[in-house]
Every structure is written in structure tokens, then in C-alpha cells.
Structure 1
Amino acid sequence: MSTYSEERRADRAADAEQRRIDQAAAAVRRAERERAADDRAARLREQQRAEKRQARQARAESRTARRAARGASLTAGNVYRKGTLGLVTASALGSLPAQILHFVDISPMLLPLPLAIEGAAWVMAAGVAYADERGLPGWVRWFLRSLVIGAAGFAASINYTYGTHLSDLSPSEAHTAGIGLAAVTLLGPLLFEVRQWVTTLSAKTGSAQDKARRKHDRTRRRQHRSIAIVADRLVSAAPFGELPFEEAFAHAWEIETGTTTPGMTPKLHRRAARSVAALTEAQHPERVQYRRAGWLRRRRPIEATPTPVPVDTSTNRSTADLRKSTRPILPVSLPVPVVIDLPKPLKPSAVRTAAAASPRPRSVTGRVPDIARSRRPARTADQLLDEARSATADWPDRDLTAEGIRKAVHTSPAKARALRETLRAERTTAPDEAAA
């Protein structure tokens, strides 16, 4: 009986333990599901935040782009160009109906006339712009302008007549209407011509860099006129587009001043050398004193004993006329000359100078002209061969070389090689003929 009870208790305990284990596993699974759900929710929230952030960034970029586009479109140049075109359009719309009504009242068949008159004015104005773009002569532009003025003036007179003859207006109002229609007719071509003039001047002026470059060119031509003239001649002498002006100016500077450094001249090189010497003397005065003392000692010997010098007390002669010093010469012990390492001066450019007259003869330092040379009579090939035979008659075969023959007969290396081959051939054929 006790055994059965114990087994029942053990079974109940095992069931309880199993339930506890199952509950713990269920709790773990529930916690994992909740954690997974929380992770999914966090990821979803992060994705939503990222999408919102991207949308805000896209909207900000779009606003920035629109702002930049508005700023680019609202510049002074764009406002002027587009505003001028708007005023021109308004002028055409204001002047054309009055002309149409005027000619239609006369006859419906005259309807094309206002279109032709107004169109002629605008086509000629466009022709002025085209002439400016192509760089045509000035008389072409002024001829087109005269046509524009003629067509616009005729249209203005028609509109003025039409405005002053309006029946439902008072005389003062009709006069005002006529003046307004005539003014608006002339305003369009006038504004278009002013716009074209401003555009042409802006294209010629260019940017700030272009202005600075033109100013530099004017200053350089003004300060270096002779060099600019030589550079222009070099450019005009070369084929078109082959020689840039900057290269021509550098070459002209070297021709005129003898140096390739821009801005430097022989005078400036001398000033630079004097400045270097003055700086050295200021930095090392004792070295310069030693150098001068050594130079004086080499140039003039100094006596060991003082020499009395009589003092001239005459009031009618000055010391400059006497060419003597009023102070006695005292013995001076000069130090030993010291070699001074002066800083390296600027290297002067090579300047061609004429040789000074010298009493002593000078050897030739350059190439002697052909006319001053003593010409040696030219020898023929047979004469050279005879001389080579006589000079190399007792030479062994191993000494028969082109260099030896050249030195023996005093000829060129090419002729010496030809003589060598001829003599070797003769020495080779001579034993064969003797054996035969």
C-alpha cells in the first residue's frame, strides 16, 4: 500500500515538475515573441523616421534649388533682358490694333499694311542685333537703324492721327490718346535698340578678370612701348595664329635687353649687384676693410719711416691745387689680406659688347672667316692615292689603318677609310699576281 502511495506522490511530483517546466518554456517563448515584436516595431519606427528624414531633406533640397533658380533668374541682367522683352511686347500690342483699325476703316483690303509696317520695324531691329553679332561694318548697322526709325516713325504718325480723330473723346483727351499711341509705337524699337547696345557693351567688357587683363595689356604697352612694337612685328611676320603674343613679347624682351627674365634690364642687374655688395659691406665691415687694406698694399708700397712733408702756408694756393695732403703720412701696419667669401651675386645676362681698343695683339677667340683663311689647293683622288702609297710603302699590314693614313696625308676620315680599303686591296692582289 505504501508503495502505491509513494508512486502516486512521485507521479504527482513529476507532473508538477513537468508543468513547471512547460510554464517556464511558455514564458520564454512568450518573452521571445514579445522581444521579436518589439524589434519589429523598433525597426518600423526607425524606417519611418528615416523616410521622414529623407522626405525633409528632399524638400529642403528642392527649396534650395528653387531659391537658387529664382536667384539666378532674378539677377539684374536677366531682369533687364526679360523686362525689356516684356515692354517690347506690350508696345507692339498697344500700337498694332490702332494701325489695324485705321487701315480697316479706310478699306478691309489694307489689313496687311499695319502688319508689314510693324514687322519691318522689328525685322530691321533684329538685323541690327545680327550685325552686332557678326561684327559687320558700322555703316550697315546705321543703315538698318535708319530703316527702323523710318518704319517706326510712319507707324507712330498713323497712330497719332488715329488717336486725335477719335469721335467719342474730347479734343484734349484725343490729343493725349494720339501722343500716347505714337509714344508707345516708338517705345518698343527704342527699348530694343538700347537693350542691344547694352548687351554689345557687356560682351565687349567681359568679366572682372577680362578687365584686369586688358588693363595689364595697356599698362605693359605704355611702359614698354619699344618692346611691344618689336613683338607686334614678330607676330605679323609669323603665319596667322602660329606665334602667340606672349611668346613674341618674351622674345622681343630678350632681343632688346639681352636677358630672358621678364622686367630685368642691364641697368637693373647692375643695381642688383651694387645692392649685394652694399649688403655685404654692411654685414661684414671688417672683412671689407681687410680686403681694401690688402689691395692698397698690393697697389702701393708703404715706407717704414715717416717722410716729413712741408706745410705750405701760402694763402694764394689751395690744397686741391697743390695735389698734396697737409697731414704727414704715418707708418701703418696693414693686416694680412684675407680672402672674403662674398655672397653669390645675381648672374648677369650675356650682353654683347664691342671689344675695347688694346695696344697689345690679341689671339683669335672666334671662328676665323673663310676669306681670312689660307686655302690649300684641293687634291684629286689620284694624288691622294699616290701620296698614301708613298707614305705607307714600308708600313706593315697591321699598321695600315684609316687614322694612320689620315695623319700621314692630312685628309678627312672618310677619304682615309677609302684609301685604306684601296691600299689593302692592292696589297692583297699583288701576291696573287706574283704567284701567277
Structure 2
Amino acid sequence: MSVYAEERRADRAADAEQRRIDAAAAEARRVEREKAADERAARLTEQRRGERVRAREERARLRAERRAARGEVLTAGNVYRKGTLALVTASALGSLPAQVLHFVGISPMLLPLPLAIEGAAWVMAAGVAYADERHLPAWVRWFLRLLVLAAAGFAASINYTYGLHLPGLSATDRQAAGIGLAAVTLLGPVLFEIRQWVTTLSADTNSPEERARRRHDRLRRRQHRAIAQLADRFVSAAPYGQLDFEAAFAHAWEIETGTDTPGMTPRLHERAARSAAALSHAQRAVIDPAPPRGRIGNLFRRRPVALPTPTPNQDETAETYVNRSTADLGESAPTSITPAPAPAALAAGPVVSLVKSTDRPPVGAVAAESTRPRRATGRVPAVARSTRPARTADELLTEAREVAADWSDRELTAEGIRRAVHTSPAKARVLRDTLRAERAAGSGEAAA
């Protein structure tokens, strides 16, 4: 009996456990269903919210597009152009019936006349616009304007006469009607012509950069008339479209002035050379100032320096410096440099003290004659004197070798040597040829 009871209790416990498991599974399924339902509702809510946001954005975009379209339509230019066309249409509608009634009252066969007169005025006005578009000569446009004025004036006189003879009106009203019909007849062509003028001026007035470019071209042609004329001749001589005016102007500038630097002339090069020489002298004077003058200054006098015999190619003047492009010419002096014989040392000149002596000469004393006459302008200031002694040919060649040791054959030019060792163009050409000959000899020996 106890075994049966135990089994019954076990079965009931198993059933209870199964019911609990089934209830838990059912609860889990319910929770999952509710969670899925909540997720679906959230997705639907988010979708509806997104649709509302997109709908708002679309409405805002359409409003912005309509606003932009209204802004483009209602710009000053569009309002002026379309308003002018509307006024022109109203003018034609106001002037044409009076002309038709006037000519038809005379004879029905004259019906085409008002159409021809009014049409001639508008066709000639359109011809003015076409001439502006094609950039025809000015006399063509003015001739068409005279035709417009003639046709519109004749139509205005007809309408004025018709207004003066309107029946059933007082004299004042007839006068007002005639003036109004004549004015409205002339108003259309005049407004159309003014509109065309404004359109042409607006098309010609480009960006500020274009206006500045045209101003620059006018100023350049006015200040450099001869060079601009020569450039025009180059452009006209070349085939159409193959030579640009800027290139022609640069070539003409080089022909007229001898330099390819825009704005530079031989006179400006001369001024630049003088300024550079003055600056070099001033810098050397600051680096190596002159010794003091007077009795103490005599102790610091330099001994005479042996100077080489001046040659025809001594350091050239500012004018030769201007034509510095001649340093690269093919012709040059012989390749070898023969050093000039050093002359004897110059005798030291008399010492002249700039300090005024306090010892008064005795009465009747006669001043000693000076071996060198003194210039009326006084002695040259120490700042203006060159403190650098003249170099011999060997010294120049040695300095040029040191400077151009690491130069390539292309860089070995007379102009580069002249700037590096500060000598004249003629000596620079000689140094260039000597160094090239030495390099050629060295390369030949290396190849052998």
C-alpha cells in the first residue's frame, strides 16, 4: 500500500511539474507574442513618424522651390523686361485701333496701311536689337533707329489728328485724346529702345575682373603706344588666331627696349646699376671705414699699393652694366689670360691734414707749391672711395676657379662669373673661355 501511495505522489508531482513547465512555456510564448507585438507597434510608429517627417521636408522643399521660382521671376531684370513688354503690348493695342479707324474711315481699302506703319516701327526696333546682338557698326543701329522714329512719328501724327476730330467731345477733351493717342503711339517704341539700351549695357558690363582688364589694356596702350602698335602689326601679320596679343606685346617690348623684363628700359637698368654701385660702396665703407684724419691719422696711412696698368676693358660704366646680356655673346677675347705687368709702386702723395693748424705763419712767408694741384671741389670723401685694391688677371682667374669649381658646364656663363667675382663683362667673357678651355683639356686627358 505504501508503494502505491508513493507512486501516486510521484505521479502527482510529475503532473504538477509538467503543468508548471507548460505554464512557464505558455507564459514565455505570451511574453514573446507581446514583445513581437510591441516591436511591430514601435516599427509602425517609427515608420509613421518618418513618413510625417519626410512629408514635412517635402512640403518645405516645395515651398522653397516655389519661393526660389518666384524670386527668379520677380528679379529686377525679369520685372523690367516683362513689364516693358507688357507696356509695349498695351501701347500697340492703344495706338493701332485709332489708326485702323482713321484709314478705314477714309476708305476700306486702306486697312493694310496702319498695320504696315505700326509693323514697320516694331520690325525696325527688332532690327536694332539684332544689330546689337551681332555687334554691327554703329551707323546701322542709328539708321534703324531713325526708321523707327519716322514710322512711330507718322503713326503718332495720325492718332493725334484722329483724336482732335472725335465727335461728341469738347475741344479740351479732343485735345487730351489726341495728345494721349500720340503719346501712347510713341511710348511703345521708346520703351522698347530704352530696354534694348539697358540690355546692351548690361551685357557689356561684365565682372569687375573684366572691367579691370579692359582698364589695364587701355592704360597700357596709352602709355606704351609704339610697342602696342608694333604688337598689333605682329598679330595682323600672323595667321588668324595663331599669335596671342600678349606674346606679341612681350616680343615687341624686347625689340624696343632690349630686355624681356616687362616695364624695364635701358634707362631704368642704368638707374639700377648706379643704385647697386652706390649701395656696394656704402657697404664697403661701413665694413672697412677710412682711418681718421689729421696728425694721428697720418700714423695709420696705408702704404702705396701696386696697381695694374689700366686696360681698355677696365670695369665698365653703368651703361655697359645695363647691356649685361652681351656677356653671353659667342665672340670673346682669347682663351688664355696674360697677366699685366705690375708697375712700380706709386709714390706717396703729400700728406694733407684736414685739421686746421693753430700756428699762424710768419709775416711774409710764402706757401710752398704743391706738386699736385688741388681741385676746386675739395677732396673726395672717404665714404666715396673704393677701399678694395684692383685685382690682377691671375687673381681674377684664381678667384673664378674657386667660385666655379662646382658649377656645371651650363652654369658656367660670363654673366654668372661677372656676378660672382664682381668684374666687368669683358673680363668675365675671358674668364669663361679660359675655364671652358681648362675643362675641355681636363676631360680630354681623362678620356685618354
TM-score w.r.t. length of structure 2: 0.63
The equivalent of 2:229 in structure 1 is 229
Cα pair 2:88 2:191 within 8 Å, conserved: yes
Q: What is residue 67 of structure 1 aligned with on the other side?
A: 67
In 1, distance between residues paired with 2:101 and 2:148? Answer: 22
Which whole-Å CA distance do the structure 2 matches of 1:222 and 1:169 have between them?
A: 65
Post-superposition shift, 1:289?
A: 4.6
Whether contact under 8 Å (2:120, 2:148) holds in the other structure is yes
Aligned to 1:37: 37
| TM-aligned CA deviation for residue 211 of structure 1 | 1.2
CA displacement at 1:29 relative to structure 2:
1.7
Aligned to 2:158: 158
- Mapping 1:17-416, distance limit 5 Å: 17-272=17-272, 287=287, 289=289, 297-299=305-307, 322-323=374-375
Write the distance in 2 (CA, Å) between the matches of 1:305 and 1:8. 152
CA–CA separation in structure 2 for the residues paired with 1:161 and 1:151: 16
Distance 1:238 1:36, change over 3 A: same
**Deviates further, 175-184 or 15-24:** 15-24
**1:140 to 1:263, Cα distance in 2 relative to 1, 3 A:** closer
- Asked if structure 2 preserves the Cα contact closer than 8 Å seen for 1:124 and 1:144, the reply is yes
Instruction: Label 1:109 to 1:321 Cα distance change in 2 as closer, same or farther (>3 A).
Output: same
Structure 1 CA distance, aligned partners of 2:265 and 2:54?
A: 66
Question: CA RMSD for the aligned pairs?
Answer: 4.3
Alignment check: 8 A CA contact 1:89 1:188 kept: yes
Paired residues of 2:122 and 2:148 also in contact (CA < 8 A): yes
Aligned residues of 2:305 and 2:389 also touching (Cα < 8 A): no
Tell me if the contact between 1:95 and 1:181 (Cα under 8 Å) persists in the aligned partners: yes
Alignment deviations for residues 70-90 of structure 1 (CA, whole Å, 9 cap, x no partner): 333333333222221111111
Superposed displacement of residue 190, structure 1: 1.1
**For residues 298 and 11 of structure 1, do their structure 2 counterparts lie closer, same or farther at Cα, with a shift above 3 Å needed?**
farther
Change (3 A) 1:53 1:259: farther
Q: Aligned pair in 2 of structure 1 residues 143, 263: CA closer, same or farther (>3 Å)?
A: closer
Distance 1:198 1:182 in 2: 25
Whole-Å Cα distance in 1 between the matches of residues 222 and 77 of structure 2?
34
Instruction: Quickly say closer, same or farther: Cα 1:258–1:9, change in 2 above 3 A.
Output: same
Amino acid corresponding to residue 187 of structure 1 in structure 2: L
Query: Partners in 1 of 2:22 and 2:11 — Cα distance?
Result: 16
Question: How far apart are the structure 2 equivalents of 1:294 and 1:229?
Answer: 60
Q: State how far apart, in whole Å, the 2-side matches of 1:308 and 1:187 are.
A: 97
Contact 2:235–2:244, Cα closer than 8 Å, also in 1: yes
Aligned pairs, how many? 336
| Residues 62 and 280 (structure 1), Cα distance of their counterparts in 2 relative to 1, 3 Å cut | farther
Gaps of 5+ in 1: 327-333, 351-357, 366-436
Counterpart AA for 1:37: A
Contact 1:294 1:336 in 2 (8 A): no
- Secondary structure of 1:153's counterpart equals helix
The question of whether the paired residues in 2 share the 8 Å contact of 1:281 and 1:288 is answered with no
Hey, what's the Cα distance between the residues in 2 that align with 1:32 and 1:296? 117
Return the alpha-carbon distance in structure 1 between the equivalents of residues 81 and 109 of structure 2: 37
Cα distance 1:27–1:55, how it changes in 2: closer, same or farther (>3 A)? Answer: same
Q: Give, in whole Å, the separation in 1 of the partners of 2:349 and 2:130.
A: 99
- CA radius of gyration, larger in: 1
Q: Distance in 1 between matches of 2:110 and 2:200?
A: 38
One-letter identity of the residue aligned with 2:182: A
Cα separation, partners in 2 of 1:322 and 1:143, compared to 1, 3 Å:
closer
* 1:283–1:20 Cα change, 3 Å: farther
- Which structure has more RCO (C-alpha within 8 Å, separation ≥ 6)? 2
The amino acid across from 2:7 in the alignment is E
Shift of 1:217: 0.4
1: distance between equivalents of 2:224 and 2:271? 20
323 and 131 in structure 1: CA distance in 2 versus 1, 3 angstrom threshold: closer
Partner deviation per Cα, 1:194-228 (whole Å, 9 max, x = no partner): 22223233333433222111100011122222321
Counterpart AA for 1:24: A
